[in-house]
Amino acid sequence: MTIATLRPGLQPRLLMCPPRHFAVTYSINPWMDPAQWADGAADLRACAARQWTALESALHEAGAAIETVAPREGLPDLVFTANAAVVLDRKALLARFRHPERQGEQPVFAAGFRALAARGLLDAVIEPPEYAVLEGAGDCIFDKRRGLFWLGSGFRSDAAAARLIEDTFGVPCLALTLADARHYHLDTALCALPCGSVIYFPAAFSAAALDLLHSHVAPHERIALGPADAARFAANAVCVGRTVVLSGCGETLRRRLEERGYTVVQTPLNAFMRSGGSACCLTLRLDHASEAAGAQSMLARRAAGLR
């Protein structure tokens, strides 16, 4: 898909941050090994730059518009913009990070979102209350087909943040307890596709969370990953129209996605996997709209004589 094939006003818009200062200099999840990174730092940094550029190009080719926030020295994980905020209906609820190592990102992202609002790309930028621990869209995934948020809790975000999400955006938010520290954020273990199918890694969730997920996602809409695809971060995918961009996947997953009408684009991101992130972690969707907002937009366009 190219930008030209997308309907006017529906071009997906993503926020990214170039990896100029990306590195693994501390450890706040099981994937991070600062000593191993230091052994090959120069080569790994160059690899990260190439892989990020390839991801950006793949997203452009799929039809996405890319906004960027400037990298900042001393904030190596700023590149993972998915954690910056939860965005829906032109409102951005800013993140509040659990670990001190990432809390320095908060004012940088806040300034970046206010700049987006000044350009007319957002209507509101909302500071979370101090009690709320919520690591943005990394743990809070919008499921457009069901009109709800899935919230990952247990490692980096609090289940209590579900109420804040509901109060802010006016849509339901269902908390799923994560049970495997390797899948510390929800976006490492779940991807809600536009068609209503959900990619997920069952072993990442508690039994109660799986029951809740299964009660809302019919069997034919479930795409369960095995350990090999989970280790490739296949659930950490970005959907742009009918294109799914991810770091890697097996043939079975590729076939199941193609059967649903998607084109699968694989672009290696192993440098970022050393920090526990992949394609979805490196992006934040800025244009998600709820059904109510979409209906209002359609009415406004009709009133203006547009289709």
**Per-residue pLDDT, 4:** 32
Q: Is residue 6 part of a domain?
A: no
User: What tens-digit pLDDT sequence spans the chain (307 residues)?
Assistant: 233 333 445 789 999 999 999 999 999 999 999 999 999 999 999 999 999 999 999 999 999 999 999 999 999 999 999 999 999 999 999 999 999 999 999 999 999 999 999 999 999 999 999 989 999 999 999 999 999 999 999 999 999 999 999 999 999 999 999 999 999 999 999 999 999 999 999 999 999 999 999 999 999 999 999 999 999 999 999 999 999 999 999 999 999 999 999 999 999 999 999 999 999 999 999 999 998 664 444 334 444 444 4
Is 195 noted as a catalytic residue in this protein? Answer: no
What pLDDT was estimated at residue 292? 67
Q: Which residue range is the domain that position 270 belongs to?
A: 11-303
Domain assignment present for 87: yes
The one catalytic residue among 47, 249, 281, 288 = 281
Measured in whole angstroms, the distance separating CA 167 from the mean position of its chain's CA atoms is 21
206 contact partners, CB below 8 Å, separation of at least 6: 154, 176, 177, 178, 179
Give me the pLDDT at residue 302, please. Answer: 41
Q: Which of 173, 185, 239, 249 is catalytic?
A: 185
60 flagged as catalytic: no
Position 128 in a domain? yes
- Structural domain contains residue 3: no
Number of domains in the chain: 1
Number of alpha helices (DSSP H) and beta strands (DSSP E) in the chain = 10, 15
Q: What is the pLDDT of residue 10?
A: 74
Q: Are 143 and 198 in contact (CB under 8 A)?
A: yes
Q: Is 4 contained in some domain?
A: no
5 within some domain: no
Does the residue 288 lie in any domain? yes
Q: Name residues whose C-beta falls within 8 Å of residue 90's C-beta, 6 or more positions apart in sequence.
A: 121, 122, 123, 124, 289, 293
pLDDT of residue 301: 41
Residue 84 lies in a domain: yes
Give pLDDT, residue 291.
Answer: 84
CATH code for the domain in which residue 201 is found = 3.75.10.10
List helix spans (H) across the chain.
Answer: 34-39, 41-62, 100-103, 105-118, 161-169, 207-216, 227-231, 251-259, 270-273, 291-303
Q: Say what the pTM is.
A: 0.92
